[in-house]
Amino acid sequence: MHMADAMISPAVGGAMWAVSAAGIAYCSRKIKNDPDESKVSLMGVLGAFVFAAQMVNFTIPATGSSGHIGGGMLLAVLLGPHAAFLTIASVLVVQALFFADGGLLALGCNIFNLGFFPAFAAYPLIYRKIMSEDATKTRLSAAVILSAAVALQLGAFSVVLQTKASGISELPFLTFVALMQPIHLAIGIVEGVLTAAVISFVWKANPLILDIPCRKAPENRIPVKIVAAVLLAATIIIGGFLSRHASDNPDGLEWAITRSTGKEELESTGNIRKLLASVQEKISILPGYGFQPAGAAAAPDSVSPETGTSISGIVGGSVTLAFVLILGFALKKVLGRQQDRVSDGPGHG
Amino acid sequence: MAETARSFYDLKYIDTLSSLDSPVHRIDARAKLLTTGVFIVCAVSFPKHEISALIPYFLYPAVIVPAARIPARYLMERAAFLLPFAVLIGIFNPFYDREVVMSVSGIPISGGVLSFVSILLRFVLTILAALILMASTGFPGICSGLEKLKIPRVFSVQLMMLHRYLFVLASEAVRMARARQLRSFGGRGTGIATYGSLIGHLLLRTLNRARRIHTAMLSRGFHGEFHQGRPFRMRLSDAAFTAAWCSAFITFRFVDLPQAVGRIIMGAGS
């Protein structure tokens, strides 16, 4: 469910970064003003706990495969929305850096998909609502399972939207939805059952840990709605604005280049041609290279322009790759020798 | 079991790498953060069928990996481990985008195949960038770099707390998982009932630990701020590092070098 950098466009990645950064800033202010100071260490340790819990697998009955907890809903239940959002965000940062699990540009998307929905949608709108009357174990389990499943459904749908908006995957929208939602429904239910098992164990062992029955929700209700509205508006505005700029400008540039060099026939037939055309245009406007007119004159018909581009792309690509690899090996040789001479010891643990 | 232990050792391994010393390690964290950001944005911003223009970006890992003394083998293993996810998402492109865009010595190649290969290349590049940043900077370094770049103090403290307790709790969990494994025959006891109480116990212990930690930190004068040993100063060489790499990345973005090289070679050959 973690999105990778390779799947998103800079416009979508940037917009979601802005949204998640705003969320982090808002929640940080909330936590800073929270009179309960022990929350800071609680958040840190619970973030580490999520990793620890992921080191323990359990067997999914009748399938033989194993799974582990995701932890988003668990954190929301234990910490409340603001602290949970920050903790989930920090877990995702660590996953992106230590495991390259979810990219750095996609971090904004991942924080939104996996943090916002459990903390600010499922927790206040489902979990709190169900738990507002007197709590029983069944009620608690139902609330946890339902909110975990809904949070993951929303997150998965959000993944689809972000991927489609980026335009890297060719999967049609409905097929993508039909693939993602059922898979994540299953994952969400498993996640909910696991979370419910852990929470009800803790509740039995030490009920005070969960602050459960509460009619004091009103003071909580308005900010959550405001955050949701602001974040949604920001997504729409920034997303719409940035993606328009991202998609219009390059086309405009291509158009301008085609116009100025007087090869209008290239721009008419679809995106790919336009793309190849722009690549060609870029090369042809490089002043120093005299090879292109010569090549074009030598073989006007036998090599179509696309084939020419593709072959030189392959040749050039392999040459560049070989160059880079050789450089890397040479550097490793030289630097390795140098460093060994300077300090042979602490590094080679 | 083997897999969970493995992810724990991965965690430790990259943390160890980041505590080595090299010219790259000594560069200011902010400089490396900025360079990594520009690298990723440039590499990802290409049109979806681009392949050849992405290749020059391998220059960055090819130079930094040896210079930072990161074992290339480790990075490759990590990339190979994650590659199935990229394949899973990209594999549909060849089926849905069948328009033939070019042909190489008579073999037609569709746009979908191109964009699939492009996704894989982007994937490897962005993974390498993230792992290189981590292995050459270290998590505390990245956190204080981010703090200097004005992320909220609460969040940077949260990141550092998480990092500090990660290894303690993770090794505890790995021990628990191993103990359960040794006591379960034919997979008995690995189901949900045991799981709930196992993780529940871990959680209770964690909460107690959090309380002790908080008291201990308060009694040692913690005021919501961690202090970094290494002084933070942006030197001229740090700025030069960022400026040089960023301008290279931006040049690669707008000038298709491999294409030009190929044309020169083809031109010379004919």
Most confident by average pLDDT, A305-319, B60-74, B102-116, B143-157: B60-74
* Nearest CB partner across the interface for A94, out of B92, B162, B196: B162
In our burial notation (b when 16+ CB lie closer than 10 A, e otherwise), range B55-94 reads bbbbbbbbbbbbbbbbeeebbeebbebbeebbeebbebbb
The structure tokens 């018909």 sit at: A301
Element (H, E) at B109: strand B107-110
- Which residue in B8, B130, B265 is closest to A103 by CB distance? B130
Position A116 scores a pLDDT of 95
Rounded CA separation B5/A131 (Å): 37
| pTM for the model | 0.77
How far is A315 from chain B, CA to nearest CA, in Å? 5
CA separation for the pair A302, A295 (Å, rounded): 11
CA–CA distance, A189 with A65 (Å, rounded to integer) = 15
pLDDT band for position A265 (cuts 50, 70, 90): very low
Q: Which two tokens stand for residue B133?
A: 């940043």
Give me the pLDDT at residue A348, please.
41
Distance between CA atoms of residues A271 and B122, nearest Å:
20
Q: What was the pLDDT predicted at A154?
A: 94
A2 with B88: CB under 8 angstroms?
A: no
Q: Does residue A220 sit within a domain?
A: yes
Residue A281, in any domain of the structure: no
Give the nearest partner residue to B266 out of A43, A90, A311, using CB atoms: A311
Residue B197 pLDDT grade (very low, low, confident, very high; cuts 50, 70, 90):
confident
Q: In terms of CA atoms, which chain A residue is nearest residue B91? A: A169
The whole-number pLDDT of residue A113 equals: 94
Pairwise CA distance, residues A209 & A199, whole Å: 10
Question: What's the pLDDT band for A216 if we cut at 50, 70, 90?
Answer: very low
pLDDT in tens, A110-129: 999 999 999 999 999 999 88
Residue A314 maps to a domain: no
Determine phi and psi for A65, rounding to 5 degrees: -90, 165
Task: Give per-residue pLDDT as tens, A137-168.
Answer: 888 899 999 999 999 999 999 999 999 999 88
- Residue A292 pLDDT level (bands cut at 50, 70, 90): very low
Q: What is the pLDDT of residues B38-78, one digit of tens each?
A: 999 999 999 888 888 999 999 999 999 999 999 999 999 88
What token pair was written down for A4?
Answer: 């990778």
Nearest CA in chain A to B132: A97
Which pLDDT score, from 0 to 100, does residue B269 have?
56
Alpha carbons B206 and B106: distance in angstroms, whole number: 64
Residue count (chain A): 349
Sorted by sequence, the CB contacts under 8 Å of residue A210 that are 6+ apart come out as A77, A78, A199, A202, A203
Nearest CB to A52 within list B16, B66, B202: B202
**Chain B residues with CB-CB distance to A52 below 8 A:** 166, 169-170, 172-173, 202, 206
Give pLDDT, residue A269.
44
Outline where DSSP puts E strands in B176-222: none
What does each C-alpha distance from A116 to A21, A132, A306 come to in angstroms? 12, 21, 46
User: Residue B265 and residue A331: Cβ atoms within 8 Å?
Assistant: no
The pLDDT value recorded for residue B12 is 85
Do residues A126 and A173 make contact, with C-beta atoms less than 8 angstroms apart?
no
Residues of B within 8 A of A96 (CB-CB) are 130
A298 pLDDT tier (thresholds 50, 70, 90): very low
A132 secondary structure, DSSP code: T
Determine which of A19-33, A217-231, A302-316 has the lowest per-residue pLDDT on average. A217-231
Strands B100-104 and B107-110, sheet pairing: antiparallel
Bridge partner list, A65: none
Please name the helix (run of DSSP H) or strand (run of DSSP E) that holds residue A66, with its range, or none.
strand A66-67
DSSP code at position A315:
H
Find the CATH number of the domain harbouring A210: 1.10.1760.20
What is this model's ipTM? 0.89
CB atoms near residue A158 (< 10 Å):
19
- pLDDT tens-place string over residues B152-180: 988 998 999 899 888 888 888 888 888 88
Mean pLDDT on A225-238: 60
Flag whether residue A322 sits within 8 Å of chain B, measured between CB atoms: no
Angle, CA A170 vertex, CA B251 and CA A235 arms, to 5°:
70
Least confident stretch, A196-210, A284-298, A300-314, B139-153 = A284-298
- A253: in domain: no
> If you average pLDDT over each of A289-293, A304-308, B245-249, which comes out highest?
B245-249
pLDDT at B245 over 90: yes
Examine residue A193 and state whether it is found in any structural domain, yes or no.
Answer: yes
Residues of chain A contacting residue B161, judged by C-beta atoms under 8 Å apart: 40-41, 43-45, 47-48
Please count the CA atoms within 13 angstroms of the CA of A1 that sit on its side-chain side.
25
Question: What is the chain B residue with the closest CA to A207?
Answer: B204
- The interface residues of chain A toward chain B in range 231-250, judged by CB-CB distance below 8 A, are 250
Please state the rounded mean pLDDT for residues A294-302: 43
Residue A154 in any domain: the answer is yes
The arithmetic mean of pLDDT across residues A131-139, rounded, is: 78
The total number of structural domains that make up chain A = 1
pLDDT of A218: 38
Residue A267 domain flag: no
Q: Is the pLDDT of residue A271 over 70?
A: no
What integer pLDDT is reported at residue A337 of this predicted model?
67
Give the angle subtended at the CA of B121 by the CAs of A291 and B3, to the nearest 5°: 160
In this model, does residue A220 exceed pLDDT 60?
no
pLDDT surpasses 60 at A279: no
> What is the residue range of A222's domain?
5-246
pLDDT above 70 covers a percentage of chain A that reads 64
Candidates B44, B97, B103, B126: best to mutate against A (most CBs of A within 10 A) is B44
Do β-strands A58-59 and A66-67 pair in parallel, antiparallel, or remain unpaired? antiparallel
Q: Measured between alpha carbons, how far is A201 from A209 in angstroms, rounded to an integer?
A: 11
Residues A202/A80, Cβ–Cβ less than 8 Å:
no
Whose tokens are 């933070």? That residue is B232
Question: Do the domain assignments include residue A318?
Answer: no
Say how far apart CA B228 and CA B156 lie, in whole Å.
Answer: 12
Please give the Cα distance from B70 to B22 (Å, whole number): 10
Contacts (Cβ under 8 Å, ≥6 apart) of A36: none
pLDDT for position B223: 74
Q: What is the DSSP letter of A335?
A: H
Minimum mean pLDDT among A308-322, B97-111, B195-209: which range? A308-322
